Structure formats: C-alpha cells, structure tokens
Amino acid sequence: MIFTTPILAVLALVARVSAAPSPDALLARAPPVQIKTLSATQIAPFLNKANAPFSPNSSLSARDSEEASHRLTSRTIVGADNRVLWPSPDYPYSAVGKLTFSSGPACTGTMIGRRHVATAKQCLPSLSSPWSAHFAPSYYDGERLGGSNAIAVFIPNSLTPVGVCGYKEDWAIIILADPIGDTVTGWFGSKQINCTAQKNIANWFHMGWPADKGGNRPYRQEAITVTRCDECAPGGPLETDADVLAGQTGGPLWLWENGSRYLYGMASYGAVGRNYFASGPNFYGAIGAAYSAYP
Ligand SMILES: *[C@@H]1O[C@H](CO)[C@@H](O)[C@H](O)[C@H]1NC(C)=O
Ligand SMILES: *[C@@H]1O[C@H](CO)[C@@H](O)[C@H](O)[C@H]1NC(C)=O
Ligand SMILES: *[C@@H]1O[C@H](CO)[C@@H](O)[C@H](O)[C@H]1NC(C)=O
C-alpha cells in the first residue's frame, strides 16, 4: 500500500508571502478563467505528436550548464536537499514561472507553447466558482520578464482515476491572454517518456518556487532519476527522487537533449522517499487540443 499526500496540503499551513510588485495586484485585474474539459475523444486526434521547443534568444540560452550536468550519473539520497537557488532569467529558465491564483496557494508552471502553460490540475481553485490566475515567468522577488493573466484552462474530463493512475492525470494547460512565448519566454518542447530507455538515469531537471524557501525565488534541481514510469502504463506517472515541496507543484520535469529542452511531467504528489509527476498520453494529446483551440 502506498501512502501519499498532496503536495499542496502542506502549503495550506504556510502563510503566503508577498513581494513587490505583488502578483495579487495583477490578479485583481485578471478576468475569470474559463474552464474547458477535454474528453478522451477530443484528445484522440492529437495523441503521439511531439511538440518542438522554441528559444527567442538562442545565443543567450543557458545551454552549457545543462549540457555539463546532464551527464551526471548519480546524486545524493532523496533525503538530502538538492535544490539550488537559480536566479538566471535566460532561456530555458525564462519559460518556467510562478503561478498565482485569486484563491489558494501558488504553484509553478512551464511554457509549452506561445501562450500555453503546463501545470498540475490540483493547483486550480474550486471549479464551481469563478477565479483568476497570473503567470509570472522567471519570478524573482517580483515580476521580472513580464507575465500574463490566464483566460482559460484545459483539464481532463472523466479521466480522473484514483491512486497512482490519478497522479498521472493531474495535469492542466493554462491559456494566457498574451503570446509571451514568442518574444519573452520561449517554451519547452514536450515528449512522452520511453520507460524502457529512460528510467534509472540521473539526468532529469526540475524547477519551482518552494514555499519552504519563501516562495518568491526559483530553485532548480539536477541529476534527478525517474525510478518508475509504468505503474499506470503507458507513460506515467513518473516516480522520481526529486526534492519537491509545496509551491513547486506543477513544476516541470525536463531533459536536456542535444541543446533542446523537453517537458516530460509536472510535479504532482509526494510520498516518503519519492515524488510523482503527472504525465502520459492524455496530457500530450491535450497539448495538441489546446494549440488547436487557442493557436
Ligand atoms: C534576450 O536577449 C536580450 C538581450 O538581447 C535580453 O535582454 C533578454 O533578457 C533575453 N531574453 C531571454 C529570455 O533570454
Ligand atoms: C524505447 O526504448 C527501447 C530501448 O532503447 C527501444 O528498443 C524502443 O524501440 C523504444 N520505444 C519507442 C516507442 O521508441
Ligand atoms: C543527439 O544527437 C546525436 C547525434 O546527432 C544522436 O545520436 C542522439 O540520439 C541525440 N540524442 C538525443 C537525446 O536526442
């Protein structure tokens, strides 16, 4: 039997910290987000299509640090804190941001298109009353790159099994009012894991805004290992040894592949000695559906 806790549950006990300029001020002007549910039938035409990454500024990309670190073959035990303050606003870090909501705790999101942000479904406030959301890329004690408000969000409909298979479907794709990916942030590509070839290799990255470190600065972790990825086959959830706490929920699990970054999952649920990332074919199909509805 597996005992797990939603990462967000921890944050409910932690007071929100605000910094200037406050995302709350930007949120006050945000429109209510339209909830769009996607059925398996709506997702089906877009299955098995990978999405290419984009950097608006490839000459300034932080390529070298990841090229070096993706070759690491081991890391310390999950019990040690391997998160490192990561102030760089260069791509790809420009494409990861802090998500704030008009109610509830903050999360992390990743640009996966010109106006498309991947996060965890559990981050969203109640679906029965209106709420708003703001994405602040590369947030560091305040807005740095120019964020955008959410106008819509895609979530799975009738794809919410319980337990491990439920973590797999803990995804959401937020649509921003502005296509900041084109000029400001760039975006990650996205791919599904090949469990046979890609597990038990300490070459994955994660980034987020951990509440236990104040929630206002990005922390990155490298040399993460995916230890299981076929518990709810195919393709997820991704069980890892990442150090993930509240505030990092929804944050990316990514790979550096020959200079390109690919998102494979979003931080979902924590358990003793391991953390799960949402992933799998439905999420990747939903990206295509979101692109189609909001180019
Ligand atoms: C792109 O380059 C400009 C300088 O030419 C820099 O100011 C900006 O921060 C860069 N953006 C990213 C996302 O790296
Ligand atoms: C997954 O990786 C294995 C081992 O490298 C390979 O044989 C297989 O063809 C791959 N599967 C897919 C779907 O690419
Ligand atoms: C990187 O490029 C090399 C040579 O082009 C290729 O053999 C290899 O499969 C690529 N690796 C990835 C992860 O794409």
The tokens describing 209, both together, are 């805004």
pLDDT digits (tens, 9 = 90+) for 22-73: 667 778 778 899 999 999 899 999 987 778 999 887 555 555 566 655 554 4
- Which mutation among 47, 194, 230 tests ligand 2's pocket best, with the greatest number of atoms within 8 A of CB? 194
Q: Could you tell me the pTM of the whole model?
A: 0.87
Nearest CA to ligand 3 atom 13: 257
Ligand 3 neighbour 90 (Cβ under 6 A): no
Instruction: Please give the pLDDT value at position 189.
Output: 96
Would strands 238-240 and 96-101 be described as parallel, antiparallel, or unpaired?
unpaired
CA distance 133 to 108: 12
Nearest CA to ligand 1 atom 2: 57
Q: Taking residues 214-238, report their average pLDDT.
A: 92
Ligand 2 neighbour 20 (Cβ under 6 A): no
- Which mutation among 204, 258, 260, 264 tests ligand 3's pocket best, with the greatest number of atoms within 8 A of CB? 258
Instruction: Please give the pLDDT value at position 31.
Output: 86
- Res. 76 pLDDT band, cuts 50 70 90: very low
Ligand 3 neighbour 257 (Cβ under 6 A): yes
Ligand 1 neighbour 60 (Cβ under 6 A): yes
The contacts of residue 151 (CB under 8 Å, 6+ apart) are 31, 33, 34, 175, 176, 177
CA distance 183 to 244: 30
pLDDT digits (tens, 9 = 90+) for 248-261: 999 999 999 988 99
Ligand 2 neighbour 197 (Cβ under 6 A): yes
CA distance 8 to 23: 19
Ligand 3 neighbour 197 (Cβ under 6 A): no
Q: Taking residues 2-15, report their average pLDDT.
A: 45
CA distance 17 to 107: 13
Ligand nearest to the CA of 183: 1
Q: Is the pLDDT of residue 173 over 90?
A: yes
CA distance 232 to 18: 39
DSSP 73: -
Q: Is the pLDDT of residue 208 over 80?
A: yes
Percent of the chain with pLDDT over 90: 62
Q: Is the pLDDT of residue 7 over 60?
A: no
Q: Taking residues 162-177, report their average pLDDT.
A: 92
Ligand 1 neighbour 34 (Cβ under 6 A): no
Taking the CA atoms of the chain, what radius of gyration do you get in angstroms?
A: 17
**In the predicted model, what is the mean pLDDT of the chain?**
85
Ligand nearest to the CA of 185: 1
Q: Is 181 helix (H, G, I), strand (E, B) or coil?
A: helix
Ligand 2 neighbour 77 (Cβ under 6 A): no
CA distance 208 to 220: 7
